[in-house]
């Protein structure tokens, strides 16, 4: 409709554009969210084409929330980082996969709230736990301005262009939405969409298309689509979305919503056109949580999407605030996993893998079996003791499962199906890669290769760890390239990476000039990093991302970390005796210090500053040991309480122990405390210590 009389006045195009956009938004919501299309596809297409033509004629009137902008923009070179205004925290996982797991959660909540047996049941909201990718959608004055992945909880990636391609996600909200609104939920791929996508991929492969592949499961396909640099390609991967929570929101004091319950919050999200799972429901007390868990488990295989459990949340927002958080997890919510799916298969061989720290891990090579959405060919046997305890032998028929829905493991052997008398597994006493001695340290279950960086397997793993996205991030430096670099002797230590020249890279098999230049550019880019990323990338045993961040916050500068004594390291949050000794030992080795200095000489750098101010805490500098059963606190709850108050929890009693917290049936730790004269307190005294200092 581009006849002259349509634009009789100057504001006619703007009015028509607004009409078209509103109509198309309404139809899209009916189609994608409500599954109730109100017009034929041809009519939607007709108005969509009219909108495209009108925007082309009046480019100054194009807006970010137009339906035409769901697929648009140039391919990206990479994803920008986004710091979350409100951290995207993880939810505690209930490890008891029986219905009793729901009862455990209700018991903890009632205890935290001080509710007696004769007081009313707690009201919860229960919902499926979707197997997708957590996403944060940020709206300013009703317009979608940013979509970001969870990342490490504090910093995610900007994937706005790809998220715009999801028809279920509104680009504009109604006028009553708050000025700032962050909606959190899960991006996933429906099973039927996944099957259709793989069928299209198979047809492309059969037609001879290069670089195409089929996808393993819906979650992997969704992850690949979200992290696709070209939004036009992302649009070809059908994604869906469920909203289930909030990030930053304009406060009630500033005119924002004033919800009193999680159920009311979800109702608002539905009114604002967000898809909310219709299986979410209110549950009163433990009995209804158990019923919900059993009901969803029974429906699991018939749902249109994958789930791996359910989530329980205290419904009252006032009670949520009262319960608060423990470490970085809300006390008022829990993820209750379903039992991992299990299948039968056979053991073809048992290999030994060498990890980054020299750990030797026996791995069962399996006849391929489809378990929990993926084809499994390897399963960990953990260590020699575990392999012998389960008596896994080559040729055995075994039950395999994906432990935690992530790491496949052998659950047990079916002895009656064993043929002959195959040899029991024994860990080799030399490294299978470099031939160095394999030793088992005292009080450890694992054997370790003593070859260090002489062992090519350890060098490869150390380089991959250093170059991974969560460390210094050298884009494009993957397993195959690292294998080549180490095997031909070009890279022996981390600093060798930054001495790589274009010619040396380009001369490697299957490495073109352009690919070599990309690696050189990625290495140059990686020189600008942060202190936490660098510390994590060094691969110090027991130092993960969270510990690296705490070290950086506490000391401010790398030299201060390197020169710290074990006692000084113990003052860092989340650092106990074992971790402190590991860090101290690492930096006491001259060759490790030499690696750091060479990396600095190669130009690797990061911002440094003064140590973060440390607030006085009641248990700062104190080391406590727990023994026996406490009246109201579980072992993990007591540990979290102590650590939140600045204390450290050790596993054994020594002269350096400040207090032993003893409960019923305390054992040898209590006896040793008495022998050493270490003060012994009970749970009540522990709480008094903490309260007295706050």
Tell me, yes or no, whether 171 and 285 share the same domain. Answer: yes
Q: Is 655 known to be catalytic? A: no
Positive or negative: CA dihedral 120, 123, 129, 132: negative
Quick check: 425 pLDDT over 70?
yes
Query: Which listed residue (129, 313, 359, 669) is catalytic?
Result: 129
Alpha-carbon distance values, 344 to 347, 349, 369, 671 (Å): 10, 16, 8, 47
Least confident of 159-168, 170-179, 335-344, 396-405: 396-405
Residue position matching structure tokens 């980054």: 356
Positive or negative: CA dihedral 358, 364, 367, 368: negative
Distance CA 547, CA 533 (A): 11
Quick check: 211 pLDDT over 80?
no
Residue 218: other Cβ atoms inside 10 A? 25
Residue 424 lies in a domain: yes
* pLDDT tens digits for range 534-576: 999 999 988 988 789 889 989 999 999 999 999 999 988 778 8
pLDDT for the residue numbered 300? 87
Residue 80 lies in a domain: no
Distance CA 11, CA 213 (A): 50
Least confident of 306-315, 468-477, 667-676: 667-676
Quick check: 10 pLDDT over 60?
no
Tell me, yes or no, whether 173 and 273 share the same domain. Answer: yes
Q: 635-644 and 683-692 are packed helices; what angle lies between their axes, rounded to 10 degrees? A: 20
pLDDT for the residue numbered 372? 67
Tell me, yes or no, whether 636 and 664 share the same domain. Answer: yes
Residue 97 lies in a domain: no
pLDDT for the residue numbered 9? 44
Tokens of 352: 């030994």
Please give the average per-residue pLDDT across 361-386, as a whole number.
Answer: 89
Quick check: 451 pLDDT over 60?
yes
Let me know: does 648 contact 624? Beta carbons within 8 Å: yes
Tell me, yes or no, whether 268 and 302 share the same domain. Answer: yes
Residue 119 lies in a domain: no
What CATH number has the domain bearing residue 45? 1.10.287.610
The band of 261, judged by pLDDT with boundaries at 50, 70 and 90, is very high
| Single residue among 292, 312, 337 that ends a domain in this structure | 337
Tell me, yes or no, whether 411 and 500 share the same domain. Answer: no
The band of 221, judged by pLDDT with boundaries at 50, 70 and 90, is confident
Tell me, yes or no, whether 218 and 311 share the same domain. Answer: yes
pLDDT for the residue numbered 402? 74
Quick check: 322 pLDDT over 60?
yes
- The fraction of the chain above a pLDDT of 90, given in percent, is 48
pLDDT for the residue numbered 35? 53
Q: What is the mean pLDDT of the chain?
A: 87
* pLDDT tens digits for range 105-154: 999 999 999 999 899 999 999 999 998 899 999 999 999 999 999 887 88
Q: 100-113 and 285-299 are packed helices; what angle lies between their axes, rounded to 10 degrees? A: 150
Structural domain of 682? 623-692
* pLDDT tens digits for range 595-612: 999 999 999 999 998 887
Tell me, yes or no, whether 192 and 49 share the same domain. Answer: no
What CATH number has the domain bearing residue 461? 1.10.150.20
Residue 612 lies in a domain: no
Tell me, yes or no, whether 515 and 538 share the same domain. Answer: no
pLDDT for the residue numbered 345? 93
Tell me, yes or no, whether 178 and 309 share the same domain. Answer: yes
Distance CA 160, CA 70 (A): 10
Domains held by the chain: number: 6
| Single residue among 337, 371, 403 that ends a domain in this structure | 337
The band of 186, judged by pLDDT with boundaries at 50, 70 and 90, is very high
Residue 105 lies in a domain: no
Least confident of 187-191, 265-269, 663-667: 663-667
Q: Assign 557 to helix, strand or coil.
A: coil
Please give the average per-residue pLDDT across 488-499, as a whole number.
Answer: 92
Tell me, yes or no, whether 585 and 501 share the same domain. Answer: no
| Single residue among 474, 497, 526 that ends a domain in this structure | 526
* pLDDT tens digits for range 359-373: 999 999 999 988 866
């Amino acid at each position: 409709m581009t006849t002259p009389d349509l634009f009789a006045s100057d504001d006619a195009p703007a009015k028509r554009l607004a009409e078209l956009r509103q109509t198309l938004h309404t139809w899209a919501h009916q189609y994608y969210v409500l599954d109730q299309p109100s017009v034929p596809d041809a009519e939607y297409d007709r108005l969509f084409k009219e909108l495209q033509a009108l925007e082309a004629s009046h480019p100054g009137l194009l807006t970010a929330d137009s339906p035409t902008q769901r697929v648009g923009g140039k391919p990206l070179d990479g994803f920008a980082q986004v710091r979350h205004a409100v951290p995207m925290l993880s939810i505690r996982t209930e490890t008891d996969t029986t219905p009793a797991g729901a009862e455990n959660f209700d018991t903890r909540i009632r205890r935290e709230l001080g509710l007696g047996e004769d007081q009313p049941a707690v009201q919860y909201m229960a919902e499926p736990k979707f197997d997708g990718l957590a996403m944060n959608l940020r709206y300013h004055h009703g317009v979608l301005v940013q979509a970001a992945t969870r990342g490490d909880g504090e910093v995610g990636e900007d994937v706005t262009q790809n998220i715009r391609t999801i028809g279920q996600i509104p680009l504009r909200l109604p006028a009553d939405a708050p000025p700032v609104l962050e909606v959190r939920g899960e991006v996933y791929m429906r099973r039927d969409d996944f099957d259709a996508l793989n069928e299209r991929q198979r047809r492309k492969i059969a037609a001879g298309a290069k670089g195409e592949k089929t996808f393993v499961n819906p979650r992997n396909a969704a992850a690949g689509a979200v992290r696709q640099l070209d939004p036009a390609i992302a649009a070809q991967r059908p994604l869906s979305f469920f909203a289930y929570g909030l990030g930053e929101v304009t406060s009630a004091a500033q005119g924002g919503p004033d919800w009193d319950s999680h159920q009311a919050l979800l109702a608002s999200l539905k009114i604002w056109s967000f898809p909310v799972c219709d299986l979410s429901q209110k549950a009163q007390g433990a009995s209804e949580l158990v019923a919900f868990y059993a009901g969803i488990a029974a429906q699991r295989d018939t749902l249109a999407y994958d789930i791996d459990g359910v989530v329980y949340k205290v419904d009252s927002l006032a009670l949520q605030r009262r319960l608060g958080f423990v470490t970085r997890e809300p006390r008022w919510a829990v993820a209750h996993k379903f039992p991992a799916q299990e299948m039968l298969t056979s053991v073809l061989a048992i290999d030994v893998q060498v990890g980054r720290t020299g750990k030797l891990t026996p791995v069962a090579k399996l006849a391929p079996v489809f378990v929990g959405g993926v084809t499994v060919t390897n399963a960990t046997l953990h260590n020699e003791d575990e392999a012998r305890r389960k008596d896994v032998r080559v040729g055995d028929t075994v039950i395999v499962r994906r432990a935690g829905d992530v790491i496949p493991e052998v659950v047990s052997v079916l002895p009656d199906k064993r043929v002959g008398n195959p040899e029991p597994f024994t860990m080799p006493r030399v490294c299978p890669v470099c031939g160095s001695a394999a030793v088992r340290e005292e009080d450890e279950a694992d054997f370790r290769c003593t070859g260090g960086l002489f062992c090519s397997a350890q060098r490869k793993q150390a380089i991959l760890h250093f170059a991974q996205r969560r460390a210094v991030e050298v884009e494009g430096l993957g397993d195959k390239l690292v294998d080549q670099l180490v095997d031909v002797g070009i890279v022996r230590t981390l600093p060798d990476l930054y001495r790589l020249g274009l010619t040396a890279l380009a001369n490697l098999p299957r490495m073109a000039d352009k690919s070599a230049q990309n690696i050189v550019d990625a290495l140059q880019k990686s020189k600008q990093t942060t202190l936490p990323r660098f510390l994590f990338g060094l691969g110090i045993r027991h130092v993960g991302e969270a510990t690296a961040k705490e070290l950086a916050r506490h000391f401010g500068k790398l030299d201060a970390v390197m020169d710290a004594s074990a006692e000084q390291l113990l003052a860092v949050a989340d650092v106990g005796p074992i971790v402190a000794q590991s860090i101290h030992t690492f930096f006491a080795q001259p060759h490790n210090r030499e690696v750091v200095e060479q990396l600095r000489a190669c130009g690797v750098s990061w911002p440094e500053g003064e140590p973060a101010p440390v607030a006085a805490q009641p248990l700062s500098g104190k080391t406590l040991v727990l023994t026996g059963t406490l009246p109201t606190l579980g072992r993990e709850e007591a540990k979290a309480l102590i650590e939140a108050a600045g204390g450290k929890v050790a596993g054994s009693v020594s002269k350096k122990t400040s207090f032993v917290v003893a409960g019923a049936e305390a054992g040898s730790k209590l006896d040793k405390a008495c022998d050493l004269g270490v003060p012994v307190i009970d749970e009540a005294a522990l709480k008094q210590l903490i309260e007295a200092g706050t």
